[in-house]
Structure 1
Amino acid sequence: MINVLIFPAGTEIGREIYLSLRNEKNINLVLAGADYDSHARHYACGYHIVPDVSHQDGLPALQTLLVQESIDYIFPAHDEVLLFLSENRDALSATVLCPSQEACRITRFKSKTYQALKGTVPLPVIFNDLSEISGDAANLLI
């Protein structure tokens, strides 16, 4: 049996992961997140309260839960959590299911993604100020 943590489980992404894996016979789902009301608190597998990753106790509390529940894998279910876990994966006893830290940093912001892809694929033109728009571009909807 594989123990998989969905964190934070109360997000829409968390719900989608839960619905995708809930009937897998070889997976035991564990749900966790901050102390707020969400759909995840009402699932039969239970819900563990863990401070938000921005809180100073977030990482130690998460690691405690990983050991307590013998978690093998963590599914990050929020953009900020994905980045945080990619940056702290070496401090965790479970495998974080996410791309490299660099990829998480780039894809966290559309502007950084565009910057990384510049010259490789067609990208929209970005104007930082209205004064930059001239000619045919001035007819664009804003």
Structure 2
Amino acid sequence: MNITVMITCIGGGLSAQFIQSIKASSRHNLRIVGVDTNDTPAARHFCDTFHRVPSGDAPEYFDKIKSICAQESVDLIFPCADEEALTLAAHKAELLITGTTVACNDLDLLQIFTNKLTTYKKLAQLGIELPIWKEATGQESTLSAVREIMDITGEAVVKLPTARGGRGTLVISNSLTETISFEGSRELHMNLQTFMEKHLSQLPSEPIMIMERLVEPVHDLDILSWQGQCHYLIPRKRLNSALPNEGHILIENTPMAEIGRKVAQELKTSWIFDIDFMTTKDGKPAVLEINPRASGSLSVAIAAGMPLFDDMLSLYGDEPIAPTHQSYNQIIFPYTALAKR
């Protein structure tokens, strides 16, 4: 199949690897249109053409994307950032009229996935076991929830429902005597007294999430589904929980995969997306969040021999796909390389 694909947000650390990987397809002849908010992402050199665009939540973003799609005759847009996926999902029908398909789920689903509280409420409705969690609004409610969870587990985590990448996350444990930043992440760890004195009054007035502290490492579950049917469920364990681009080990984790399967089947998902997991202290998989688009480290699974993107294109083109054997215990790691044009 000959196809022009727009890849958004190509400034990610593994974007160059991802674009090289999908262009190496033996089944599809891809022409890649890369877009990013910056002029100089390294991945632009592996695209057939490149355009700078506004941020995905900017008022002018969609008009710019629509213009590029017309100019480049784009068949398919593969969004790689949350804001872009949300904006593009809201305009799916308009783009489809002009011949461009957006490779993400519909807006109603994405709006659930981009809020941790609505995600957990939906997972609870599906009967998926969850860690201890509570919704709180205001200082009194928040402090009560924190104390209740700490009484049960000894620690508590306060999260902003729509924040990403650990932004605004506060881990509260009385084993600490000072506030620390956790292993290069955006989390702050502190004791209850520090939380009450320095952070409680700074929390937003809208509902927030309080939950038990989960156990590392973080796992990513890559899912390719089509109208609820799962074709890939690939669990990967991060070598560094705070830095997903530092490598993964592909593992076999049936409980984790079955949660992903249930989400896909019950919500009738399509395209590629991923679920982030940790575990509870008794070793059970616990959903951290469901991403509204593919993982930024999707190229890890492709490098391990899983042709998710190829098969996604085949499903989009109504072409049959063959089962792929999944190899476990592979370590996929990054290294520095050079290329020339």
TM-score band, normalised by shorter chain: 0.7 to 0.9
Q: Which runs of 4+ in 1 moved over 6 A?
A: none
Among 126, 129, 133, the residue aligned to 1:126:
133
The higher radius of gyration belongs to 2
- TM-aligned CA distance change 1:19 to 1:108, over 3 Å: farther
Higher strand share: 2
Name the residue aligned to 1:97.
103
Q: Within 1, Cα distance between the matches of 2:56 and 2:40?
A: 17
3-state DSSP class of the match of 1:77? coil
- TM-aligned CA distance change 1:62 to 1:44, over 3 Å: closer
* More displaced 10-residue stretch of structure 1: 86-95 or 119-128: 119-128
* More displaced 10-residue stretch of structure 1: 86-95 or 63-72: 86-95
Q: Within 1, Cα distance between the matches of 2:53 and 2:4?
A: 17
Please state how far the C-alpha of 1:91 moved relative to its aligned partner.
2.4
Alignment of 1:140 with 2:152, yes or no, is no
Letter in 1 for 2:152: A
Please state how far the C-alpha of 1:3 moved relative to its aligned partner.
0.3
Cα pair 1:30 1:47 within 8 Å, conserved: yes
Cα pair 2:32 2:47 within 8 Å, conserved: no
The Cα RMSD (Å) is 2.3
- TM-aligned CA distance change 1:74 to 1:137, over 3 Å: same
Unaligned runs of 5+ in 2: 137-141, 157-171, 173-341
3-state DSSP class of the match of 1:27? strand
Among 60, 67, 71, the residue aligned to 2:70:
67
Please state how far the C-alpha of 1:78 moved relative to its aligned partner.
0.5
Please state how far the C-alpha of 1:58 moved relative to its aligned partner.
1.4
Cα pair 2:19 2:46 within 8 Å, conserved: no
- TM-aligned CA distance change 1:27 to 1:113, over 3 Å: same
Q: Which has the higher contact order (CA 8 A, sep 6+)?
A: 1
Cα offsets for 1:38-95 (capped at 9, x unmatched): 2223335342112223222211111110011110000000011111111111222310
3-state DSSP class of the match of 1:118? helix
Please state how far the C-alpha of 1:122 moved relative to its aligned partner.
0.8
Name the residue aligned to 2:45.
42
Count of residue correspondences: 142
- TM-aligned CA distance change 1:23 to 1:17, over 3 Å: same
Q: Within 1, Cα distance between the matches of 2:55 and 2:155?
A: 41
Please state how far the C-alpha of 1:29 moved relative to its aligned partner.
1.1
Cα pair 1:14 1:77 within 8 Å, conserved: no
Q: Within 2, Cα distance between the matches of 1:14 and 1:99?
A: 21
* More displaced 10-residue stretch of structure 1: 26-35 or 8-17: 8-17
Alignment of 1:5 with 2:6, yes or no, is yes
Please state how far the C-alpha of 1:14 moved relative to its aligned partner.
4.5
* More displaced 10-residue stretch of structure 1: 61-70 or 124-133: 124-133
Alignment of 1:18 with 2:25, yes or no, is no
Q: Within 2, Cα distance between the matches of 1:34 and 1:23?
A: 26
* More displaced 10-residue stretch of structure 1: 15-24 or 1-10: 15-24
Cα pair 2:4 2:75 within 8 Å, conserved: yes
> Structure 2-normalised TM-score?
0.38
Q: Within 2, Cα distance between the matches of 1:97 and 1:108?
A: 17
Higher helix share: 1
Identity %: 27
- TM-aligned CA distance change 1:14 to 1:86, over 3 Å: farther
